[in-house]
A = this chain, B = another copy of it.
Amino acid sequence: MLVGMLTTLLLLQAAAQVAPIPAKAPSEIVAAAPASDWVDIAPDDLLVMQLAPDRDGNARKVVIQLMPPPFSQPWIANIRTLAKAHWWDGTAVTRVQDNYVAQWGDPTEKKPLPAGMRPTRQADYVVNSSNPQMEHWADRFVQQIERAAQDRTKLPFLPIRDSYAEQATVVNGFPVAGNKNELWPVHCYGMVGVGRNLSPDAGSGAELYTVIGHAPRHLDRNIALVGRVVEGIENLSSLPRGTGPLGVYEKPEQRVPIVSIRLASELPTEEQPHFQYLSTESASFAAYADARANRKDAFFILPAGGADICNIPVPVRRKP
């Protein structure tokens, strides 16, 4: 029996030398995640942006998931107010800067805002102990840091070494960075933020942008982040770049008209899109993050042994 096992082991080793079985790719781990690891995104947390059709008549839709508490709640309340007022209908994508952002809003900058808009302030770029919901997330974050300090090798690949903060991780479906005392969401590809004028203006939420290049993490804690594009980002990222300063479209006719922006919850039931994200607290996500940081699937020779937070995008799918 022992010899048999040994022989089997030797055979397995020999086989491994000939043709090692590649580890699962991150996409395979996601595809194999059980239904219970997927979290429904509430229709009130989804924005559906309809752009004018392209020149070939193809429809262009972009779907955005708004960030859950405790992050950026004053701006997110304003965004729901703006959507319910149909405020963005007839506005436009006004700026597309290569390797940076695509931005949309009112080109005249004079359209009156709807009633009920909340004041916003810089202090809310960051969540700290003054926020009643901080305790839960800070505890999770501190636990992650402490476990990692104890024995990195036994743990899933989170939190991670970051070039901008003490640590970075993913909580409640969104990438964040910070330390034991404060947390803030981070500017990864596809994240949606709030345009503003010079400080102390913190932006209302009427002027929005999404990241279409390498993560501009220098904007973290300098601008409010409110969500991320979960479908159709190619309708923004592949737009022609503006030729004015900061990628602004120089001619009005170059702007891309916005037909409408609606909360999914305000759409007729049959038009409501249904999305899910892979729970960032699930075992599937931990395995996925680890595989992103240590690619061992067939194409790869040498796993990186690490990843930056923006190279571990949270998987999102249409609800099956």
Interface residues of A (CB under 8 A from B): 96, 98-99, 122, 160-165, 188-190, 198-199, 213-218, 220-222, 233-234, 237-241, 292-293, 295, 298-311
Given contacts A98-B233, A163-B160, A306-B164, contact A216 B301 (CB under 8 A): no
The answer to whether A163 touches B161 (Cβ under 8 A) is yes
Q: How many copies does the complex hold?
A: 2
Which of A222, A293, A295, A309 neighbours the largest number of chain B CB atoms within 10 Å of its CB?
A222
The 6 A-B residue pairs whose C-beta atoms are closest, nearest first, are A163-B308, A234-B241, A189-B214, A164-B306, A221-B302, A98-B234
Closest chain B residue to A295, Cβ basis:
B218
Having A188-B214, A199-B301, A218-B303, one finds 7 other A-B pairs with CB under 8 Å, namely: A98-B233, A164-B308, A198-B299, A217-B308, A217-B311, A234-B240, A234-B241
The A interface is mostly helix, strand or loop, or mixed, namely: loop
Which chain B residues lie closer than 8 Å to A218 at the CB level? 292-293, 295, 300, 303-304, 307, 311
Can you name 12 A-B residue pairings with CB atoms under 8 Å? Answer: A96-B238, A162-B306, A189-B213, A198-B299, A213-B237, A214-B310, A217-B304, A218-B292, A234-B240, A237-B238, A237-B241, A308-B308
Which chain B residues lie closer than 8 Å to A198 at the CB level? 298-299
Which chain B residues lie closer than 8 Å to A237 at the CB level? 98-99, 213, 237-238, 241
Q: Report the bound CA distance from A189 to B281 in whole Å.
A: 30
Which of A214, A293, A305 neighbours the largest number of chain B CB atoms within 10 Å of its CB?
A214
Nearest-neighbour CB distance to chain B for A227, whole angstroms, equals: 17
The answer to whether B162 touches A163 (Cβ under 8 A) is yes
Which chain B residues lie closer than 8 Å to A217 at the CB level? 304, 307-308, 311
Closest chain B residue to A196, Cβ basis:
B299
